[in-house]
Chain A
């Protein structure tokens, strides 16, 4: 670059300097964008393939092309008219919804108790609950199975749901969030004549809505996609949940990928809905927390 005649040296130096120092920053920016871009592609590709495959005819399934040669919605009509998928969908909705509601209630009730009440053995109970986090599901399914068998819970909603109605993680999460509810609020309510259950429900719960929303998303997704335990505890096709049902879609000899992908594509819709509903609470919660004080 040639400095215009009469341009003071200092300023042209400054110009050079800023350019020199901007370039690495630009490089950093480019690399960052690139990484994000790759990450984005990596995350979107499976979904893109899922949708693409669901729009293909069976003979085209093993073709890697993203855009099907002859797109069809035949698979969707088939899956939606197939009575089995309908029931799996209903089962999954019922199970994930009830489990989510139970977790929101029980986890927060226990978390609140552990956080706000002083009683002998409190610490031990808390540690006991936390320690269950360290046991993997794979190890638990056998005792669960034996238990379900002896109580006659096999192949029932209750059998699928009971292990997840309360989770140690949710309890821990809620306990931590209740720490942010000032004791003054609780004491003020006590003076105003509320009993402890009313205080929990009308004072403490509304103040931890963001945490409840996060927990709801987490529990709902976890149960919506749960595979191992529902697979083990169910026998009849009518009791399957979507993941269990889809895994066996097609006939015994051949796996019908286009139908599995169609089912999977349809089953993402409720998770999107749940996410969109509860995400709003999280954002609003953060905004509220920022404003108060």
Chain B
């Protein structure tokens, strides 16, 4: 178990720089999830930590030891790949034992360790099977087992669940989280699924185009997004963003709607985007901010999403599941002032 620290990590392929300085400190035993759209550099970062990809510049430390020039096997890490990378010509047991090949452990200890891991992953009955006799979820467990068996300082996961169907994914998500609570190793987990990120992470790292956009706990990135990208990326349906201008404690939106907002220090008068999550915006609640006509309803069971056509644009809000407004109704949507987010239009940065 160990800490991990990335210091101004950069990566170029030829003359194109794809990572522009990634810095991050991960505490011992922390579960950190990298999330971001396709091509933002998550895998590249992970592969650099693993030593599969050269670092163009910057320093990687694992357990306080600089590992830049070490081979993958010397870094005390283990990695689980998206398509499992378990060897089809070896039994489950051989696959798991593969992780111990280069360890100097005496044979009986190895055997014990394999059984122990198989026990943790509930795979004791599957040890003699070949991978093609396993389901997708079981294969992924084998891949995790092979990574676990060495008890590495840091676990690296690159989208390990994306080949599984939705139900299995939810289940494996839980299992990995339980596993983490049990073994306590540091985990870096890459995904492009924000639900996975929110549910599993101690801290989330949100990336875009080779830059880190925000690092924070799931609650922080959800409730205090650092910029419009994070605001849109985290949470489904994503945050409503309404264009307007701020002056003092008033935001003047398109269609001459005025909303009272918390006063900003030295914001002056400028173009802003007013953000409010559908989860914080309800019809007929206190603090009405904007009104309009319901044009669509999406019942989700306990709640109903309503799409409201307002003078400032289309807005999504959440209504009660039992007695939602009908399509065509005029509703007044309200939100608490502390749930209003204000972003600078030009930079996208949060002003609140």
Contact = CB atoms under 8 A, between A and B. Distances in A.
Contact of B88 (A187, A190, A207): A207
Given A191-B52, A193-B101, A194-B102, A184 B83 contact: yes
B132 A182 contact: no
Given A184-B81, A292-B131, A191 B89 contact: no
Given A191-B50, A192-B98, A182 B89 contact: no
A187 B85 contact: yes
B132 A288 contact: yes
B18 to A, nearest CB: 17
Nearest to B77: A191
A292 B132 contact: yes
Contact of A192 (B51, B102, B131, B132): B102
B56 to A, nearest CB: 16
A291 interface: yes
Nearest to A203: B87
A280 B292 CA distance: 73
B72 A190 contact: yes
A190 B102 contact: no
A191 B76 CA distance: 9
Given A193-B73, A288-B132, A291-B132, A188 B101 contact: no
Contacts of A192: 73, 98-99, 101-102, 146, 150
A286 to B, nearest CB: 13
Interface in B71-94: 71-73, 77-79, 81-83, 85, 87-89
Given A190-B72, A192-B102, A193-B101, A184 B85 contact: yes
A193 B99 CA distance: 8
A206 interface: yes
Contacts of A188: 79, 81, 85, 146
A184 B89 CA distance: 15
Dominant secondary structure of chain B at its interface with chain A: loop
A187 B81 contact: yes
A191 B87 contact: no
Given A191-B72, A191-B79, A192-B146, A288 B50 contact: no
B105 to A, nearest CB: 12
Interface in A133-184: 182, 184
Contacts of A185: 85, 87
Contacts of B73: 190-194
Interface in B141-196: 146, 150
Contacts of B101: 192-194
Given A292-B131, A292-B132, A193 B102 contact: yes
Interface string A67-109: 0000000000000000000000000000000000000000000
Q: Which one of B72, B78, B83 has the highest number of Cβ atoms from chain A below 10 Å of its Cβ?
A: B72
A116 to B, nearest CB: 13
Interface in B82-140: 82-83, 85, 87-89, 98-99, 101-103, 131-132
A189 B81 CA distance: 12
Interface string B27-66: 0000000000000000000000011100000000000000
A91 to B, nearest CB: 36
Nearest to B100: A192
B80 to A, nearest CB: 9
Contacts of B87: 185, 203, 206-207
A188 B84 CA distance: 9
Given A207-B89, A288-B88, A292-B132, A190 B52 contact: yes
Nearest to A293: B132
Q: Which one of A187, A189, A194 has the highest number of Cβ atoms from chain B below 10 Å of its Cβ?
A: A187
Contact of A182 (B77, B78, B83): B83
A292 B77 CA distance: 28
Nearest to A205: B89
B274 to A, nearest CB: 45
Contacts of A189: 98
A203 B101 CA distance: 13
Q: Enumerate the 8 nearest inter-chain pairs by beta-carbon distance, A residue then B residue, closest first.
A: A193-B102, A193-B73, A184-B85, A188-B85, A206-B89, A291-B132, A184-B81, A191-B72
Interface of A: 182, 184-185, 187-194, 203, 206-207, 288, 291-292
Given A191-B52, A192-B99, A291-B132, 9 more contacts: A185-B85, A185-B87, A188-B81, A191-B51, A192-B146, A193-B72, A203-B87, A207-B87, A288-B88
9 contacts: A184-B82, A184-B83, A190-B73, A191-B51, A191-B78, A191-B79, A192-B73, A192-B101, A194-B73
Interface of B: 50-52, 71-73, 77-79, 81-83, 85, 87-89, 98-99, 101-103, 131-132, 146, 150
